[in-house]
Structure 1
Amino acid sequence: MDPAQLAALLALAAVAAYVQTLTGFAFGLMMMGGVGLTGIIPLAEAAVLVSILVVVNAAQVLARGWRDIAGREFALVMVSSLVFLLIGYWLLGILLKGSLDWLKLVLGTVIIVSSIQLLFKPEPLERRSGNGSFLFFGAIAGLMGGLFSTAGPPLVYHLYRQPMRAAAVRETLVAVFALNAFLRLGTVALAGQMPDRHFLWSLATIPVVIAFTQLARRYPPGISPLNMRRLAFVLLFLSGASLAIPALLKLIGDFS
């Protein structure tokens, strides 16, 4: 990785961490979308990097907040999430062996759908959803986590609709994402597919993410949370479309 690529990766991590802190999610989506557009590092390596950064962030958060984890909901989500994480990682291997355009199309579509979700505020339910719903959304989170290490959006929306304390929702999500990321890293290592030593330069993003997370907390921008969500939507939607549309057009051309 040359200095220009490293600088671009650090800038991308800084923006993603800042937006993540202000919106509640989007870090993995922005990192994967930015890497997909720029080609700074391979997408498979980007997913490994996102997993590492998620674990680092979770260690900071859960050091104090682990007592707020909703144990029952956490267990239900993880039961299905872990199974589908392996399925998602298996699907990633198939996509990597095939056309890179298929991989970009799937990633772009995931980012577009997730960005649209940012526009809708979850309406709280009067009663807790059934256990099956947690298993279902856990499965989606695991599948997305296995593919691109971006397990968040559908599960975030579902948990924030539950009649739970905000702290319990937040810490439960952090714990789910952290365990998914940790197990994904273990799966990559067991498969012998960890990146080579050149990837170590990417770990320079760790202090950048920590610094810009603190910066966003102490000095938030002078715009409303709603407008911040709208800005995040625009950034994510454009990056997703920029990935998916060219890939789709190329695939259509290949079939015709």
Structure 2
Amino acid sequence: MSLHELGIYGGFIACVALATCIQNLTGFAFSLVLLGLVALFDLVPVIDAANAATVLTLVNAASFFRMNRLQPEWRVIKPSLLPSLVGVAIGVALLAWLSGNAVQVLRGLLGLAIVGCAVLLMLDAKPRRSVSGAPAFAAVGLASGLMGGLFSSAGPPMVYHMYRQPLPRELVKQCLILMFAINQVLRLLLVLLSGHFSWKSALLSAGALPVVHGVGWLQHRYMPPVSAAAVRRVVCVLLLLSGGSLLLSFLRA
């Protein structure tokens, strides 16, 4: 392996470590942070990074639920599940087409999605007095699934919607991680069956697995309490920088 390849691999591992840390603090944003940084520094193709993010999200979810008792609110999750899975299938098909025919458009869409996520995080949404109805969860689930299929990043719509619900924050985080994991299982099956899971995706996934486990273990044992506001500010800055840079490069191209 050449020095250039080692540098690329090391950069990818550093991005994985940062994205894992944020995921464990918030319950979301792993894939968006990872893909945003990878695309910003042009480390690997977006489709390979998205495939690796799928595997790593599943590993991260398994690690999280091994250390935390699973207590999801199924009555909240169920209305979103089927629409989100439909969205995943559509998103995977779009990703396969765009990666082969319109790479710059794909990077521009990724930048737009990342900036949109940052804007949603900055909004100080007032909590609802009662849990939203099934149609609202279904619509948000479809949008999240579409983003999950495209970029392995189903977070923004569902995160914004879920954190407005009058539910305990720890329960919301568990619901988010579980639902995203279910979506990623379908996404992984689709990319494997369609032949779009390359050897590079497998290599990146395998190399990053110890990092996901290691960061999760360190945070579980040694991470000091961090306020939600501080985490949100850091995530917003990262997303705005990476997403804005991608949009700027797309407009220049």
Shared fold, TM over 0.5: yes
**1:239 paired to 2:242:** yes
Q: Tell me the percent identity.
A: 37
Question: Which residue of 2 is the match for residue 253 of structure 1?
Answer: none
Say if 2:203 is the partner of 1:200. yes
Matched, 1:41 2:56: no
Per the alignment, residue 159 of structure 1 pairs with 162
Q: Which of 128, 142, 147 is residue 144 of structure 1 equivalent to?
A: 147
Deviation at 1:222, TM superposition (A): 8.2
Which amino acid in 1 is paired with 2:146?
L
Give the aligned partner of residue 76 of structure 2: 73
Q: Match of 1:123, SS?
A: coil
| Matched residue, 2:107 | 104
Structure 2 SS opposite 1:65: coil
Q: What is the alpha-carbon root mean square deviation over aligned residues?
A: 2.0
Q: Which residue of 2 aligns with 1:130?
A: 133
Q: Does 1:15 align with 2:18?
A: yes
Answering whether residue 172 of structure 2 is matched by residue 169 of structure 1, we say: yes
SS in 2 for 1:118: helix
> How many residue pairs align between the two structures?
249
Which sections of structure 1, spanning at least 5 residues, go unmatched? 251-256
1:30 aligns with 2:33: yes
| Residues 116-159 of structure 1: per-residue CA shift (max 9 Å, x gap) | 22223442211111110000110011000000000012101111
Do the aligned partners of 1:140 and 1:154 also contact (CA within 8 Å) in 2?
yes
| Map of 1:120 onto structure 2 | 123
TM-superposed CA distance for 1:201, in Å, is 4.5
Deviation at 1:234, TM superposition (A): 1.1
CA contact (8 A) 1:54 1:181 kept: yes
TM superposition shift of 1:173 = 1.1
Distance 1:71 1:222, change over 3 A: closer
Partner of 2:98: 95
Cα pair 1:108 1:242 within 8 Å, conserved = yes
Which structure 2 segments of 5+ residues have no match?
A: none
- 2:140/2:161 contact within 8 Å kept: yes
For the 8 Å contact 1:9–1:202, the answer to whether it is kept is no
Relative distance call for 1:189 and 1:174 in structure 2 (3 A) is same
Q: Which residue, out of 200, 209, 215, partners 1:212?
A: 215
Q: What letter is aligned with 1:240?
A: G
Distance 1:27 1:183 in 2: 18
Structure 1 residues 143 and 21, CA gap change in structure 2 (3 angstroms):
same
Worse-superposed segment, 177-186 or 121-130: 121-130
Question: Relative to 1, partners in 2 of residues 1:216 and 1:119: Cα closer, same or farther, differing over 3 Å?
Answer: farther
The one-letter amino acid paired with 2:149 is: G
* Cα separation, 2, equivalents of 1:82 and 1:158: 17
1:166 is displaced (CA, Å) by 2.9
Cα deviation for residue 10 of structure 1 reads 0.8
> For the Cα contact (< 8 Å) 1:115–1:237, is it kept in 2?
yes
Q: Which amino acid aligns with 2:96?
A: G
Q: Does 1:184 align with 2:197?
A: no
Post-superposition Cα deviations, 1:168-205, rounded to whole Å, max 9, x if no partner, equal 32222111100111110000011122112674254221
State the alpha-carbon separation in 2 of the partners of residues 87 and 222 from structure 1.
Answer: 39
